[in-house]
Structure formats: structure tokens, C-alpha cells
Amino acid sequence: MKRLLTFLLSLTPLLTVGALAQPPDPLEPILTFARTQPGDLAISVATVLPDGTLKPALRWNDTQAMPLASSMKVVVLAAYARAVTAGKLNPDTPVKVADWEAYYLPGTDGGAHAESLKTLGIGTDQQGRATTPEKTVPLDTLARFMIETSDNAATDLILSRLGKDAVPATIRALKLKQQEDIGPVSGLFGNWDEAGAAYLKATPAQRRALDWQRGEAVRRDPALRQPPATEAPASDAAIALAVELQNQTPPRGSTADYAALMGRVLSGEGFQAAELALMRRHLGWPMRVNLANTQVYNALYAKGGSLGAGVLTNNLALDIKGGPRVVYSIFLRNIPENSSAAIAQSLEGFMLDTLFQPAAQQRLLQALGVGR
């Protein structure tokens, strides 16, 4: 589920770190996807007006429920911020690394957990587990890494402290219209392996209940956290099932909801002061990890996600010095395997160009058939 964006100063208002090589034409992979699979693409782009309302610039399938991957962690963060502000959680509560790792499934997070530990100066073994699990960290550190490295185990620990009712209450409070409930990631992944095709037939509410059950089982039973000793090549049927599971069963939401939510982080609308400060601190990690961004932005907030079988999502909120405040949410699903790498590599350049370059905007509109 992990997808990181580290933003660097450039001549353009926004540029990401060059960890992924950009193709010669960063627009074409996603434009081709837009032409051939327009129903599997959703986009919301808007400016944030002084009163906090959004002025849409582009809406495409913006109210369609799409698999969120790690973008869902923005909603978990909002639930955490509400709980902290209400005094239900103390962000300074010490958490044993062993308790954090009770939700860690090696090999499923793209190295996010190991990266979290490395940032804290905690050594890891070959599976990415802490060599000193007796150490403690503040609860708020897990909220940080839920967003900054997209640490799934951190997400699950926070969900366990929030309880099952916190996310639904947050969805209602924020008036998110297409957002589905969210359960433990370890439960979701475990149910993909354990329930398989039966999981596809369950309703979203039934899936989340199963995710909570499986997540608790993972926490209690170390054997469920062990990767397989050997892994045979997946059959065609298993690959096809994985594609269905990853594109149909994760929590879903819409770009309209996420653009609005990111806009609220910019404007402060709908959040108490303490909630807003917490949201901004964690979603604003690109400003913290690269201080050069402070020369270009008053604020920059980001969170995205991906699943290996065809899901890619990203959300940006930018307050550009001397320029507008803008939000951009883009979700893709059912990405063909033969184009997934090119689409992932081009996403950042695509967002930048279609946000700031009129010619790129026109190419996108043409690909979508808008205005014909």
C-alpha cells in the first residue's frame, strides 16, 4: 500500500524527488489509460477560496467510490485528531515497539515499517522487525509514520486504540459522502489470503467486521505474522483473484470527498484548532523533510497510496506563495499490469503538468472527451 512523495524545490511550483524516473512524456501513460478506461479514473481539481469553499476546475467521476489504498489513512488521521482533541487519546502515551509490531506483516508494506524504525534509529532484522522491541515510542510517533512512511502496522495500532466506532463517527462528522468504513490493514491482507473468493461476496460492512476479527487474531498470534518459508509461483487463477480482491474489496471513497477533506486542511474549515494543528503537522511532512519547500509554499500537504494489482491514488493540497491554494485528488483502479510501472512513474509529473500547464490540461480534457 505504500507510496511516498518527497517534494523538492524547482522552477515549477512543485516537483517530487526523482526516485522514479520520469518517462519522456509524463502525460501519455495516464492519458492512454483515460482514453481506454475512463470509468477506472477519477479526478478532482479545485481552488480553495478565501472562505474555505472549493471552486472546481475539473471533476471526472468525482463521486464514484474507488479503492483508496493508503489514502484512507487521511481519514484515520482525522479520527485520531478528533480523539486526541476530545481527550480520549493521549498522543504522549508510550507504546512498546513490540505492540506496534504485533500488526506488522513482513513483505507487505514495501519496507515502510523498516523505514519508520530506521528514522527512529532502531535497528532491524532481515524481515524489517526491530532488534530492540522493548523500546517505547509516543503514540503520536505512530501517527506520524502512518502518514510519512505509510506504515500499516502503525495504522492498525492507532485503529486499535480508537476502537471500531471512531472512523464511522468521523466520516459522519466530516460529511464524507462516499467514504466506507476502515478496518485494520493486517485484517484486510489476512482475509485476502484466508477468505479469498468468499471475501469478494461479502458486503463492505461484512468485510470490515472480518478485518477487525482477523486483525485481532494477527495481534494475538505471532504465527499469523510470519511470512511463508517458501512461496511457489502464483497460478493464473490466483493472480486473477488477487486483482479482483485488490480492486474491489478495500475501503473505498471518492476524489470529491478527499479533495474537500484536503481543502479543509488548507482552510481549517470544519476542524477544531487542535484537530487542525495535528492534521497539518502530519500531512505537512514534505515541508519538514525538505526545508527548501518553505521557499515556494506557505503549506504543502500530501498522502497517496497504491496496491500492486492495479490501484494508485494521490492527494495534494498546496498553498503556493504568491499563488492560489489548490487541491488535487486522483484515483486509478484496474491498471493493466503491462502499463502499471509507466503509470506509477508518470503520476507525479502528470499531476504537476495538468495542474500548472494549460497545454497539458487541454490534452487531459481531450483524452476524457470533455467539451466535445
DSSP codes, 263-327: HHHHH-TTS-HHHHHHHHHHHTHHHHH-GGGGGTEEEEEEEEEEETTTEEEEEEEEEETTS-EEE
pLDDT for residue 352: 83
CA distance 331 to 366: 19
pLDDT for residue 315: 97
CA distance 131 to 122: 7
pLDDT for residue 356: 84
Low-confidence ranges of the chain (pLDDT < 50): 1-20
- Burial label for 121, CB within 10 Å (0-12, 13-18, 19+), is exposed
Task: Provide the residue type at 348 as one letter.
Answer: E
CA distance 304 to 6: 11
CA distance 100 to 113: 10
3-class secondary structure, 67 = strand
Rg (alpha carbons) of the chain, rounded to whole number: 20
CA distance 327 to 163: 30
**pTM reported for the whole predicted model:** 0.92
- Closest to 304 measured CA to CA, from 325, 331, 284, 285: 331
For residue range 220-274, list pLDDT tens digits in order: 999 999 887 556 677 888 889 989 999 999 999 999 999 999 999 999 998 999 9
The answer for 322, left when phi > 0, alpha when psi is -120 to 50, beta otherwise, is left
Cross-strand bridge partners of residue 60: 43
What are the domain boundaries of the chain? Answer: 7-68+252-368, 73-223
pLDDT for residue 370: 81
pLDDT for residue 13: 37
CA distance 370 to 43: 13
In sign, the C-alpha dihedral spanning 243, 71, 195, 41 is negative
Give yes or no for a contact between 186 and 215, defined as CB atoms under 8 angstroms apart: yes
Virtual CA dihedral for 332, 338, 342, 343, nearest 10 degrees?
Answer: -10
